[in-house]
C-alpha cells in the first residue's frame, strides 16, 4: 500500500518576520508542490529518499515498542541519531520525527492501547519529490512537513486538516524551533489567508505575481535571530514597526475588497521598507527591486530575506520584460495561487 500526499509551496505577501513577534501576516499557497509517498517495508528501519540523498535509520525497541534513537541538543530540541550514532542531518529530521510520533502514538491519533506499529508493518520508506526550490523562502520545508504528515499518518488514517497542521508544525520545529506556524498553515489550507485567523481572503483583482529568485540560499533561523537582536537593541522602534505592519495589513485587506491593485502594490513596497529597516534585505535584493521598479506596482522580499526570493506585482503587458531586467543569473516565474492545499490519496497494491 502507498500513501501519497502533496502540499503547495507558499509566498508571504505581507508580514514576514513581524509575524514571529505576534503581528498579522498575509500568505498565499502557490502552484509548486512537494509530493511525499510512504510505503511499508520489511526492514526495521525508516528509509528516506530525497534529492538531498538517502538515509536509512534503524529503529530501536523500547518496552516492546519501536522507537528511533532520539536525543536532545544543547537547546533542548529533539534530534535523532543514525545507525552510526551521528546526528541525522537537519533536513531529514522532520520525517524521522513524524515516523517516531506515528509509531509511538504521541499525538493520540490512535485510541490508546489500540495501536501497535509492528502489528501492521516492520518499517517505512518515505520518498520526497519536489518542484519547490530549496532554501529561498518558497516554503519547501513547510510543504514537506505538511505533505509528510498526511502521507506518513495516512498509511493508517486520513487526518483532518487541523490534525495535519498541528502535527506538521511540530515537525517543522525540528528544523526551526521558533516558527510562527504561518507557513504550515497556508501549505495545509491553500489559497490566500490572513494569519493567525486562518481566514481565507478572496482577491477581487487578478494577482499577477512574479517570483524572482536571487539564487542566494538563506537560513530562516539565522535571519530570525538577527531580527530578534534588532528588536533587543531597538525595542521602541520595533514595536512601532509591528503596529505599522498590522495597520498596513488592514489597509491591504480593504484594498483587495475595493479591487485596488495600485494600493496593494504600494503597500508591498512600503512593507519592503520595514524589512530593510530590520536589516533582512541586502544589495542583491535591493538591486533586483530597483530593476523591477519601472514595470511593477510593488516589489518586496518574500520569506526570511538575506537572499531568497522577491515578489513583484506586475501588469500583464509587462511580464515579458522581467527576465531582461533581472539578468540571466536570476530565475523568475509567474505564481498562480493554489486553492487546494494538502491533498492525500491511498493506493492499495
Ligand atoms: O523564508 P521562509 O520561507 O523560511 O519564511 C520564514 C518566514 C518568517 O516570518 C521569517 C518566519 C516564520 O516562522 O514566520
- The residue written with cell numbers 530562516 in the block is 220
Of 180, 302, 310, best ligand 1 pocket probe by most atoms within 8 Å of the beta carbon: 180
Q: What is the pTM of this model?
A: 0.88
Residue nearest to atom 14 of ligand 1 (CA): 180
Query: Is 150 in the same domain as 230?
Result: no
What pLDDT is stored for residue 104 in this prediction? 75
If asked whether residues 140 and 283 sit together in one domain, one would say: no
pLDDT at 81: 65
Please, are residues 69 and 85 in contact by the beta-carbon 8 Å criterion? yes
For ligand 1, the distance from its centroid to the CA atom of residue 137, given in whole angstroms, is 7
d(CA 175, CA 168): 12
The number of residues making up the chain comes to 349
Domain CATH for 275: 3.30.70.890
Ligand 1 atom at minimum distance from 16 CA: 9
Ligand 1 atom having least distance to the Cα of 183: 14
In a domain, 343, yes or no: no
Q: Look at residues 200, 234, 262 and tell me which one is the last residue of a structural domain.
A: 200
From 143, 166, 200, the end of a domain falls on 200
Q: Are residues 151 and 246 in the same domain?
A: no
In angstroms, what is the span from residue 314 Cα to ligand 1's centroid? 24
- Regarding whether 238 and 126 lie in a shared domain, the answer is no
The residue whose CB lies within 8 Å of the most ligand 1 atoms, and thus the one to mutate among 133, 302, 304, 310, is 304
Mean pLDDT per block of 10 residues along the chain (349 residues) reads 96 96 95 96 88 82 64 68 65 87 75 63 89 90 97 91 96 88 95 88 76 91 95 98 98 92 96 98 95 93 94 88 86 90 93
How far is ligand 1, taken at its centre, from the CA of residue 84, in Å?
Answer: 33
Q: Which range of residues forms the domain containing residue 94? A: 2-200
At residue 307, the 3 state secondary structure works out as: coil
In a shared domain, residues 179 and 224: no
Q: What is the pLDDT of residue 271?
A: 98
Q: DSSP class of residue 261? A: H
Please tell me the distance between residue 227's alpha carbon and the centre of ligand 1 in angstroms. 12
Question: Ligand 1, from 11, 220, 223: best to mutate by most atoms within 8 Å of Cβ?
Answer: 220
- The per-residue pLDDT for 180 is 86
Number of structural domains found in the chain: 2
Residue 64: inside a domain, yes or no?
Answer: yes
Instruction: Kindly list the protein residues whose Cβ atom lies closer than 6 A to any atom of ligand 1.
Output: 12, 16-17, 19-20, 137, 139, 179-180, 182-183, 220, 224, 303-304, 308
Cis peptide before 329 (omega within 30 of 0): no
Tell me, letter by letter, the H, E, C secondary structure of 49-112: EECCEEEEEECEEECCEEECCEEECCCCCEEEECCCCCECCHHHHHHHHHHHHHHHCCCCCCCC
Say how many Å lie between the CA of residue 19 and the centre of ligand 1. 9
Per-residue burial over 123-151, b if 16 or more Cβ lie within 10 Å, else e, is: bbbbbbebebbebbbbbbbbbbbbbbbbb
Domain assignment present for 315: yes
Q: Which atom of ligand 1 is nearest to the CA of 136?
A: 1
Amino acid at each position: 500500500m502507498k500513501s501519497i500526499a502533496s502540499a503547495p509551496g507558499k509566498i508571504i505577501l505581507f508580514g514576514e518576520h513581524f509575524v514571529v513577534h505576534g503581528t498579522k501576516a498575509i500568505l498565499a499557497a502557490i502552484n509548486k508542490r512537494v509530493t511525499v509517498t510512504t510505503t511499508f517495508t520489511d526492514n526495521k528501519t525508516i528509509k528516506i529518499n530525497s534529492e538531498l540523498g538517502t538515509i536509512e535509520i534503524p529503529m530501536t525497541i523500547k518496552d516492546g515498542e519501536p522507537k528511533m534513537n532520539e536525543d536532545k541538543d544543547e537547546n533542548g530540541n529533539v534530534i535523532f541519531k543514525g545507525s552510526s550514532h551521528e546526528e541525522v542531518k537537519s533536513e531529514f529530521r522532520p520525517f524521522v520525527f513524524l515516523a517516531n510520533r506515528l509509531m509511538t502514538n504521541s499525538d493520540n491519533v490512535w485510541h490508546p492501547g489500540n495501536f501497535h506499529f509492528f502489528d501492521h508493518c516492520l518499517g517505512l520508506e518515505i520518498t520526497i519529490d519536489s518542484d519547490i526550490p530549496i532554501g529561498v523562502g518558497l516554503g519547501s520545508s513547510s510543504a514537506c512537513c505538511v505533505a509528510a504528515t498526511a502521507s506518513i499518518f495516512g498509511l493508517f488514517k486520513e487526518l483532518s486538516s487541523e490534525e495535519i497542521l498541528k502535527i506538521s508544525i511540530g515537525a517543522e520545529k525540528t528544523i526551526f524551533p521558533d516558527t510562527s506556524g504561518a507557513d504550515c498553515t497556508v501549505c495545509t489550507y491553500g489559497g490566500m489567508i490572513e494569519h493567525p485567523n486562518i481566514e481565507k481572503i478572496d482577491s477581487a483583482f487578478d494577482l499577477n505575481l512574479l517570483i524572482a529568485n536571487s539564487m542566494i540560499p538563506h537560513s530562516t533561523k539565522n535571519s530570525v535571530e538577527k531580527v530578534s537582536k534588532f528588536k533587543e537593541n531597538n525595542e521602541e522602534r520595533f514595536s512601532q514597526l509591528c503596529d505599522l505592519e498590522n495597520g498596513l495589513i488592514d489597509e491591504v485587506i480593504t484594498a483587495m475588497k475595493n479591487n485596488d491593485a495600485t494600493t496593494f502594490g504600494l503597500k508591498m513596497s512600503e512593507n519592503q521598507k520595514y524589512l530593510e529597516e530590520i536589516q533582512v534585505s541586502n544589495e542583491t535584493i535591493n538591486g533586483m527591486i530597483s530593476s523591477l521598479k519601472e514595470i511593477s506596482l510593488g516589489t518586496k522580499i518574500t520569506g526570511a530575506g538575506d537572499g531568497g526570493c522577491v515578489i513583484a506585482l506586475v501588469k500583464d503587458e509587462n511580464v515579458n520584460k522581467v527576465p531582461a531586467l533581472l539578468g540571466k543569473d536570476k530565475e523568475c516565474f509567474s505564481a498562480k495561487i493554489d486553492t487546494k492545499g494538502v491533498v492525500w490519496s491511498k493506493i492499495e497494491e
